[in-house]
Structure 1
Amino acid sequence: MDYEPNQNDGYMEVQEDQDTKKIYPAGQKSRTTIKYIRYLLLLIMVMVALLFLFANRDQINGDNFRRLMAKINIGVSNGAAENGEVRFDTLSNGNTVVYKDGFAHATVEKLIITDKNGTEFQNTQLGYRKPCIAANNRYVLVYDSGGTGLMVADSFSVLFETYMENNIISAKMNANGYIVVVTEGDGFLAKVFVYDASFREIYRYRSLNRYILDADVSADNKAMALSAMNIEGAEIVPEILYFRFSKEEMDWKVSFEEAPCVEVAIKNDGTVCGLFSWGMVSITSKGAECGRYEFDNQVLQCYSLEDGSMNLFAVSASENGDATIVACDEKGAVKHTVSLDYYGVDMDYCEGRVAVLGNQKCAAYSLVGKLLWEQAPESATGISFMGKSAVVVVSETKCVYNGIG
């Protein structure tokens, strides 16, 4: 005779499986169903996480993961930053750059790294007399201009620190973490050192008859370009020099009759751009001049030499006159112009947008001249993009970021 449970005896049902009868305690079946639902939700979450990691695989590394875990509030960003402010409580004024989704701030006392909400990841003693700072998506580079100290850090730790034998003139880091350092000479007019992404010295150049003003490393990590002043008897000749790390001797040089090259940059396609007081010149990786843009007696107020194809200049008839932003390609061809009713102090470029710090306002424009955002400059000293959708206004003790859509 089959057993028929009721509500009072603690059993829910009887199921027949061929010749076997299974009796389930009350509530077990519903609890099993809930367990399966939980496993299913967990599986869905894991799949979503894997899809997120795959979509952002180029940006996922240990440092970014630690930054994420260090934040108290974890959310999903839609790419448009809200307005906010980060203040740096330091004993002296410093230099600040955008680093990942936050800032790196260097003073004579310390290096501070935060996210855009002020979450502090690192606070390291520095002790540089004149700190200069730069950053890419991997590292922060700090060096003592006119001193000997140089440091590379990520969000949480110092990865490399050294003191050069002679005072540092300039230092740059490419997107892959390769570093080129120009120092004064000891028995030489200048020395140049190149370090790879593991901070091993891979190349060295000593100059007996040339002053080196600036240097840059190519995006493929295989070459460097130098801005030099060559002493030929009583004459000083401005030059751009090019070296491949696969050989010791110079690959090529281009000489100029005009003023020295104040900055040299190697584009992603290998084109070498040299900035002069009179304009910009472009040279192929083979050493042939391929384009120029001349300022035509206008004054250069500020500029942005990007890794991409665009070069931007704010030029005016006078030092404090209203500026015109000129965007030209690596060949020197003018692609866009934007007229301003103020003079430029600093500028940055990102994906078809230009941010300008002027004497009267901070503003962001599209390259066709559409105003995207503006505010009063107050005590600002610099301006940068944090991605395409946010502009960061930098002063000596704080950063203010503004979403521009």
Structure 2
Amino acid sequence: MEDINGSRPNAAPKPKKRPNHFVRFLAFLVTLALMVGAVALVANYDKLNFDFIKRWFSYRTLARNDSGQAESFHFVGDSSNAFAVVDGDLLVCSPNTIRLYSGSGQAFVDQAVSMTNPVVSTAGGTALVYDAGGRELFVYSGREEVFSLTQEDGQALLSADVNQNGWLAVTSQESGHKGSVTVYDNSYSPLVRFSLSNRFVMDAAVAPDNKSVALLTIGLTDGNFESRVDLYRLDRTEEETEPDWTCPVGNNAILDLRWTSSGIWALGESGLYIVSGDGALSGSYDYGGRYLKAFSLDGDGTASLLLGKYRAGSTAELLTINASGELAAALPVEEQVLSLSAAGRYVGVLTADRLDIYSQDLELYNTLNGTQNAQKVLQRSDGSAMLIDSTTARLYVPQ
């Protein structure tokens, strides 16, 4: 019905919908739970382990048996082989050949060489192979050879090291000096050379930021034998011959030298020393008279040591030491350990009948029973491991 002006009367307004307090409360709880979860994830990220997801994507097409082991593949070599993992591949070095295999056994490198004591050093995606006491050195990256070096007559390779950025430190013995170190950038151009006449040079490592090099030297100090870490900046002039700083690391023989983001690690026969980038001794761990049976410096910010009261016998203790030189975890071992290897947050321990993979806190992460006579384990940073016997290798992926 219309009014006298021809318009319809105003319709009654619709009643307003009352807010649903339950839905609002539920949305508040969901938002609060998401915020708490995000804070907990950030606070405990280092403690969480998502490597099983990485392994699923990385190895979903790799054929494995029920225990998680891939098919074995054969390699040529002998008891003097040196092994390493580089970008998930297996590098096998014998005096006569250098071979690089994928986890499924596909060969990418098969190179004939002539070496007496092959040694392997890896970092990131770069592998360094050299003949200790000899003259040959090879560098591999991207599954191919990218650099090689032959020492001149009268020179011999003592050691060589590569950092995460592909920079090299090559230590040589030469007449007229007690040792020399040549630093190469990642295009393998020589940048600087240090030749010492007052102390013997045993090893060297380039800093993670490529600005300095640490030299491991030995000599007499006040009539006493002393090992020392000496640091040299790489931007120095030729007139600057003295180290920028020095740090004594005991009177024992140093077996391995590493420079990582957590410091310079010098592992000796009777103790472990960690030196900061400015030359201060940031931590040390004394073995307390125990024998060093095995070790690995490839863990993230930790060293893994197997120490025993007696040189022979199976009774020992597995330790992880942090970058402050403090004991992070300890685990008694009552079996003969065939091989010890650390990578990332994992520590692999191989015995006669099984492989135990631990976290850096030495909490058991995974166990493989029945290792098919494996003699060596190479732990990988994603939690998988390469098992090696005298002629074959196979990849193990925890389920």
Q: TM-score, normalised by structure 1?
A: 0.74
Equivalent residue number for residue 261 of structure 2: 268
Query: Once structures 1 and 2 are overlaid, which stretch shifts more, 134-143 or 289-298?
Result: 134-143
1:168-247 alignment runs, 5 A limit: 168-231=157-220, 235-247=224-236
Q: 1:143 to 1:252 in 2, by over 3 A?
A: same
Tell me how far 1:139 sits from its aligned partner: 2.2
CA contact (8 A) 1:209 1:231 kept: no
Distance (Å, rounded) in 1 between the aligned partners of 2:269 and 2:127: 29
Q: 1:167 to 1:402 in 2, by over 3 A?
A: same
- 1:133 lines up with 2:120 in the alignment: yes
CA contact (8 A) 1:132 1:144 kept: yes
Distance (Å, rounded) in 2 between the aligned partners of 1:90 and 1:274: 31
Structure 1, unpaired ranges of 5+: 1-74
Equivalent residue number for residue 383 of structure 2: 389
- 1:147 lines up with 2:134 in the alignment: yes
Distance (Å, rounded) in 2 between the aligned partners of 1:191 and 1:102: 32
Select 2:281's aligned residue among 289, 293, 309.
Answer: 289
Q: 1:194 to 1:107 in 2, by over 3 A?
A: same
AA of the residue aligned to 2:331: V
- 1:253 lines up with 2:246 in the alignment: yes
Query: Once structures 1 and 2 are overlaid, which stretch shifts more, 153-162 or 283-292?
Result: 153-162
- 1:338 lines up with 2:331 in the alignment: yes
Tell me how far 1:361 sits from its aligned partner: 4.4
Select 1:313's aligned residue among 280, 302, 305.
Answer: 305
Identity of aligned residues (%): 19
Distance (Å, rounded) in 2 between the aligned partners of 1:76 and 1:378: 24
Tell me how far 1:78 sits from its aligned partner: 4.6
Q: TM-score, normalised by structure 2?
A: 0.75
Q: 1:232 to 1:204 in 2, by over 3 A?
A: same
Q: 1:79 to 1:278 in 2, by over 3 A?
A: farther
Equivalent residue number for residue 10 of structure 1: none
CA contact (8 A) 1:266 1:307 kept: no
Distance (Å, rounded) in 2 between the aligned partners of 1:272 and 1:76: 32
AA of the residue aligned to 2:211: K
Equivalent residue number for residue 364 of structure 2: 370
AA of the residue aligned to 2:163: N
CA contact (8 A) 1:228 1:260 kept: no
Query: Once structures 1 and 2 are overlaid, which stretch shifts more, 299-308 or 205-214?
Result: 299-308
AA of the residue aligned to 2:87: K
3-state DSSP of counterpart to 1:404: coil
Distance (Å, rounded) in 2 between the aligned partners of 1:283 and 1:116: 36
Distance (Å, rounded) in 2 between the aligned partners of 1:96 and 1:257: 30
Tell me how far 1:359 sits from its aligned partner: 5.6
- 1:163 lines up with 2:155 in the alignment: no
Q: 1:259 to 1:163 in 2, by over 3 A?
A: same
Select 2:59's aligned residue among 68, 72, 77.
Answer: 77
User: Once the two structures are superposed, what CA deviation does each residue of 1:331-382 show, in whole Å capped at 9, x if it has no partner?
Assistant: 1121222222224343222343210134664322233432511345665443
AA of the residue aligned to 2:297: L
AA of the residue aligned to 2:69: N
Tell me how far 1:149 sits from its aligned partner: 0.4
Distance (Å, rounded) in 2 between the aligned partners of 1:201 and 1:338: 45
Distance (Å, rounded) in 1 between the aligned partners of 2:352 and 2:219: 37
1:56-67 alignment runs, 5 A limit: none
Distance (Å, rounded) in 2 between the aligned partners of 1:292 and 1:91: 37
Equivalent residue number for residue 295 of structure 2: 303
3-state DSSP of counterpart to 2:59: coil
User: Once the two structures are superposed, what CA deviation does each residue of 1:297-349 show, in whole Å capped at 9, x if it has no partner?
Assistant: 11111111136321211112112342221112111121222222224343222
Tell me how far 1:172 sits from its aligned partner: 1.0
Distance (Å, rounded) in 1 between the aligned partners of 2:320 and 2:290: 15
3-state DSSP of counterpart to 2:265: strand
1:79-94 alignment runs, 5 A limit: 82-84=68-70, 85-90=72-77, 94=81
CA contact (8 A) 1:93 1:396 kept: no
Q: 1:257 to 1:135 in 2, by over 3 A?
A: closer
Tell me how far 1:388 sits from its aligned partner: 2.1
Aligned length: 330
Q: 1:115 to 1:278 in 2, by over 3 A?
A: same
Distance (Å, rounded) in 2 between the aligned partners of 1:321 and 1:185: 42
Query: Once structures 1 and 2 are overlaid, which stretch shifts more, 310-319 or 232-241?
Result: 232-241
User: Once the two structures are superposed, what CA deviation does each residue of 1:145-164 show, in whole Å capped at 9, x if it has no partner?
Assistant: 11010011235432111111
Structure 2, unpaired ranges of 5+: 1-56
Tell me how far 1:201 sits from its aligned partner: 0.7
